[in-house]
Structure 1
Amino acid sequence: MYSIRTLAGQTAIYGLSSIIGRFAYFLLTPLHTAVLQRAEMGINTDIYSWIAVFTVVLTLGMETTYFRFSTKEGLDEQAVFRQTFWFMAGAVGAFVTIVLLLQSSILRAMRYESHPEYLWLLLLILSGEVLATLPYARLRQHNRALQFALIRLTNIFVNIGLNLYFFLLTPFLAERGVHLPAPSNPVLSIFIANGAAVVLQLLLLIPVLRPIFAFEKKGIDLKKMLIYGLPVMLAGLPGIVNEVFDRQLLKYLLPVETSLEQMGVYAAVFRLSVFISLFIQAFRYAAEPFFFKNAENKKAPELYARVMELFVLVSAGAVVLLSAFLPVVKYFIHSKFWDGLYILPLLFVAQMLLGVIFNLNIWYKVTEKTYYGITISLSGAFVNLLVNATLIPVLGIMGAALALLLSHIVMVVVSYRLSRKHFPIPYRVNAILTLIVTATAASFLLFQINHLIGKGVVFLLAFVLFYQTERTEIQTLIKSLSKK
């Protein structure tokens, strides 16, 4: 239980920085959805979906590689950090060079021939985020959660401050005859704000980078590093494609005249599921080093099982809460995007299952069988692409939401079946399924029912069932936290 409390404490610190920062950025959603037209929201989503994909590619699995080998006996942590960082930096440099050489063809394929600055800012943001990955990982590895949080929050608040400058301050002063420098293109303003914040973030992380110049200590063998890390990247690539490539399929499978608008609607509604993803992100920051540090513990499987169950309990409760308060939550996006709200229950459940997948996948990381991650992610990506290609032309954004949910279900099943064979973890499957099914059913009912009393009944029944399913675990956790 002490280990669980430690994980809870770390999750709280990482979560606080993540939730405060991301929620502050989320508060810009009403502003962005009010200022941007539906097609402009689509462009914004398009660029960031490519950033998400290539962030996974260019990190090359080095974050997980660093976590795994920096804690191994006989290896020097600083040397491992140096090796993984320089390898990643070389990949970033090569990628940027190739893209700039081929930019005319790339811009034509992306349909942005008249806006090369979109591509340049994409490269700036992408490079900065990738190069910051390992310094942040090192802070997590050394339990320097406060420093991690301060730098992350600084990055986010600079981004937010520049957004407020571009979209509120400059128009306000312009009406009074004072003209400050600002792009006339609102999409470009968002990219510039993010790019400036990313550069500042790298400057703040420079002290963490000191070991990259210490060459006197020998690190891990390059071949061993690649054998471990590249499968992690390949496993993560189908996963991120699973998460964001539906935007690209909406762009290219729907009619040209409406595709960017529909992508913008999908992206705006997807932002309402950010609360679930916030918890998953905060949990991941704390859980990954926690899982590895406890990998040699004889009771690790039981510990991992308890962590999974507590995660599902909390995320299921979050799904029901968000669904119950959707009449309020929906005002975070402009009303011109509300015609897409009907896909939200699917997105909520899909986000919850994404956290389940992260918990399940720890088996192949601690056993160094990372190549199985490729099988798991490819299974999900295959279903995602197949369902998207089939349903998007017919159902539009509903097809994309269904594809996301079905692909996550497939990955959960595949990962669980493989873990039973290679690293059995005693999950209480019936309890976990009860929590997930209850949250799913409650979310759909709360979306369909308009009467306040009916919503209240569904809400209360869901939480009663949660408590009945996890009564012992909840009581144990409360006692433990109260002692702490």
Structure 2
Amino acid sequence: MSVLKTFLKDTVIYGLAIVVPKLVNVLLVRLHTDVLPNEGYSENTEFYVVAAFFNVILTYGMETSFFRFYSKNKDKKSVLSTAMITIVTSTIIFGTLLFLFRVPISEALRINTDFYSILVGITLLDTLIVIPFAYLRVTGRPIKFAFIKLINILVIVVLNLLFLSTAFRSNTLRHLFSVENDVEYIFIANLIASAVVLVFVLPYFFKAKWNFDTKILKQLLNYSWPIMVAGLAFVINENLDKWLLPEIEGEFINGAYSACYKLAVFMTLFIQAFRMGAEPFFFNHSDKNNATQTYATILKYFTIVGSLGLMIVVVYIDVLRPFLIKKESYLLALDIVPIVLLANLCLGIYHNLSIWYKLTDRTRFGMYISLIGAAITIGFNIVFIPKIGFMACAYATLIAYGLMMLISYVLGKRYYPVPYDLKRITLYLLISTGFSFITYYHLDRNIWLGTVFLLLFLLLIIVLERKELKILISKTNN
């Protein structure tokens, strides 16, 4: 099987494992926004913002570090067992502290104490499954990975439908949970689903030989801590807007902004699916003679698919939107969607480019780049939200991710040169962005003219890439 065919196969399977659950989860937005007022949806968003911070801190970059050293270390069992023991031990310690100081921490984070306890429970369970899932990915078991992920989302969906249905809300079973706020049912469903997943991956804890190697631990931590800092910076880039908006503009505005932000999820799903297949592939393929050329080809076609995705969502936003959001009160922030889509496409390109610092063990550069992005996000939001409202959040995200993408490209040329087709990549980005913004902001979302632009862009891709596409198709068929 060819290298690209293997990559595509794994990416499709991992894509299903990530996209299907996330897509189903996004479709729950319709249920949530139908049941919850804007203020309730804002509470839901703030809950998962804090959960994202906790997840980064508790995993401290160990997943990517495990990928790196499991791939390059001959004693793979020791890498697995050391990573397992480290994560389990740190989770117990952090979990104890988080519960002991739950009152002051929950007050500082502006979260109801009952919500906070559920949040900590979800975070601890999700942390424990990080290494087992990483093990499935790095050892090439995408089907098993996908199966467990699908079980997780099935539990979440069934419980959401049960808990938030009209029949359940009028049922005496509701009182067993002692829940006064409907949004708490969403959190309880997530907690139960995370517990179910942990049960499924428990056998992998016993596969480790539980041999703790301090030398390997030092290597893992030296590699992982910059990734943790970069992860925190990423969470700031992705979520600070939803943390500041309630304080500056109010919960109602934040609920609308957070709901409309979900419309950009189609780009996010594509990026996440790609990363799940690409990250282990990049590490495992790094010693091949044609590695850099392969990375260059992957980025170009990632950009093509991402650019098409940008245009499709923007052109057909009025067709897609009702599947996620129906209430008019949530639509006041709809204008952020094209900007956030482009920002996430820049983020996806950045993830592709970031392979240079991961393969050369210069993860501190990833930390520096992410901190620059976080500084832009913090400064821009604080200065401009009071002046232009929620649109400042979208602009801040685009500027931060765009600059991170450019910085990573420039540094990558110096430390790990890859022959990227810069002209084609830039051309596709500029044309898809131009067509998308003209359609949305200047043609009042005219679906017919937008479709013409989309077909013209697709024709351009076919004309420019037809020869290479034929070669790639013939290779993947061999």
Residue identity in the other structure for 1:116: T
Give the number of aligned pairs: 472
| Cα separation, partners in 2 of 1:249 and 1:466, compared to 1, 3 Å | farther
Aligned counterpart for 2:413 among listed residues 417, 420, 432: 420
2:300 alignment counterpart = 309
1:396 alignment counterpart = 389
1:51 alignment counterpart = 51
Aligned counterpart for 1:461 among listed residues 437, 453, 456: 456
Asked whether the equivalents of residues 260 and 334 of structure 2 are also in contact (C-alpha less than 8 Å), the reply is yes
Asked whether the equivalents of residues 379 and 411 of structure 1 are also in contact (C-alpha less than 8 Å), the reply is yes
Mapped to 2, the partners of 1:80 and 1:452 lie a distance apart of: 53
Mapped to 1, the partners of 2:24 and 2:106 lie a distance apart of: 32
The 5 Å alignment of 1:58-77 reads 58-74=58-74, 76-77=75-76
Residue identity in the other structure for 1:382: A
Deviation at 1:437? 1.4
Mapped to 1, the partners of 2:86 and 2:303 lie a distance apart of: 36
Mapped to 1, the partners of 2:433 and 2:187 lie a distance apart of: 36
Does structure 1 residue 322 correspond to structure 2 residue 313? yes
What whole-Å deviation, never above 9, does each CA across 1:420-460 have from its counterpart, x for those lacking one? 11111111111111111122112212223244432232222
Residue identity in the other structure for 1:197: A
2:184 alignment counterpart = 188
Aligned counterpart for 2:256 among listed residues 265, 268, 288: 265
1:475 alignment counterpart = 470
CA RMSD of aligned residues (A): 1.9
Asked whether the equivalents of residues 317 and 439 of structure 1 are also in contact (C-alpha less than 8 Å), the reply is yes
Mapped to 2, the partners of 1:212 and 1:33 lie a distance apart of: 44
2:436 alignment counterpart = 443
Mapped to 2, the partners of 1:219 and 1:6 lie a distance apart of: 35
Aligned counterpart for 1:162 among listed residues 159, 162, 183: 159
Aligned counterpart for 1:228 among listed residues 213, 223, 226: 223
Mapped to 1, the partners of 2:73 and 2:84 lie a distance apart of: 20
Deviation at 1:73? 4.3
1:206 alignment counterpart = 202
Residue identity in the other structure for 2:120: L
Deviation at 1:197? 0.2
What whole-Å deviation, never above 9, does each CA across 1:91-150 have from its counterpart, x for those lacking one? 2223222223332222322334xx311100110111111111111000011111111011
Mapped to 2, the partners of 1:31 and 1:452 lie a distance apart of: 27
With 240-249 and 179-188 compared, the bigger mean Cα shift is at 179-188
Residue identity in the other structure for 1:123: V
What whole-Å deviation, never above 9, does each CA across 1:150-188 have from its counterpart, x for those lacking one? 1011011101110000112xx22666x775555342110
Mapped to 2, the partners of 1:23 and 1:32 lie a distance apart of: 14
1:111 alignment counterpart = 110
Asked whether the equivalents of residues 80 and 220 of structure 1 are also in contact (C-alpha less than 8 Å), the reply is no
Deviation at 1:213? 4.7
2:120 alignment counterpart = 123
1:100 alignment counterpart = 99
Residue identity in the other structure for 2:145: F
Deviation at 1:244? 1.3
With 158-167 and 21-30 compared, the bigger mean Cα shift is at 21-30
Mapped to 1, the partners of 2:114 and 2:85 lie a distance apart of: 28
With 278-287 and 240-249 compared, the bigger mean Cα shift is at 240-249
Mapped to 2, the partners of 1:220 and 1:375 lie a distance apart of: 26
Deviation at 1:344? 0.3
TM-score by length of 2: 0.94
What whole-Å deviation, never above 9, does each CA across 1:393-425 have from its counterpart, x for those lacking one? 112211000000000011011111111111111
Deviation at 1:373? 1.0
Deviation at 1:318? 0.9
What whole-Å deviation, never above 9, does each CA across 1:41-66 have from its counterpart, x for those lacking one? 11110010111122122211111111
Mapped to 2, the partners of 1:107 and 1:197 lie a distance apart of: 23
Which consecutive aligned stretches of 4+ in structure 1 deviate over 4 angstroms post-superposition? 177-182, 217-220
Deviation at 1:472? 3.2
Aligned counterpart for 2:375 among listed residues 382, 385, 388: 382
What whole-Å deviation, never above 9, does each CA across 1:194-250 have from its counterpart, x for those lacking one? 0000011001001122234532x8574332222111122222221222111221122
Residue identity in the other structure for 1:370: T
Mapped to 2, the partners of 1:316 and 1:271 lie a distance apart of: 18
Asked whether the equivalents of residues 102 and 117 of structure 2 are also in contact (C-alpha less than 8 Å), the reply is no
Does structure 1 residue 241 correspond to structure 2 residue 233? no
Deviation at 1:348? 0.7
Aligned counterpart for 2:325 among listed residues 310, 318, 333: 333
Mapped to 1, the partners of 2:73 and 2:97 lie a distance apart of: 39
What whole-Å deviation, never above 9, does each CA across 1:270-303 have from its counterpart, x for those lacking one? 1111111111111111111100111111221111
1:71 counterpart SS class = helix
Mapped to 1, the partners of 2:418 and 2:118 lie a distance apart of: 44
What whole-Å deviation, never above 9, does each CA across 1:298-353 have from its counterpart, x for those lacking one? 22111111111111111111111111110111112133211111110001111111
Asked whether the equivalents of residues 304 and 425 of structure 1 are also in contact (C-alpha less than 8 Å), the reply is yes
Aligned-residue identity in percent: 33
1:282 counterpart SS class = helix
2:72 counterpart SS class = coil
The 5 Å alignment of 1:73-88 reads 73-74=73-74, 76-88=75-87
Asked whether the equivalents of residues 431 and 470 of structure 1 are also in contact (C-alpha less than 8 Å), the reply is no
1:221 counterpart SS class = helix
Residue identity in the other structure for 2:318: P
2:33 alignment counterpart = 33
| Cα separation, partners in 2 of 1:287 and 1:219, compared to 1, 3 Å | farther
Mapped to 2, the partners of 1:173 and 1:264 lie a distance apart of: 25
Mapped to 1, the partners of 2:180 and 2:232 lie a distance apart of: 35
With 65-74 and 423-432 compared, the bigger mean Cα shift is at 65-74
With 412-421 and 326-335 compared, the bigger mean Cα shift is at 326-335
Asked whether the equivalents of residues 158 and 197 of structure 1 are also in contact (C-alpha less than 8 Å), the reply is yes
Asked whether the equivalents of residues 83 and 217 of structure 2 are also in contact (C-alpha less than 8 Å), the reply is no
Asked whether the equivalents of residues 85 and 210 of structure 2 are also in contact (C-alpha less than 8 Å), the reply is no
2:265 alignment counterpart = 274
Does structure 1 residue 145 correspond to structure 2 residue 138? no
| Cα separation, partners in 2 of 1:327 and 1:220, compared to 1, 3 Å | same
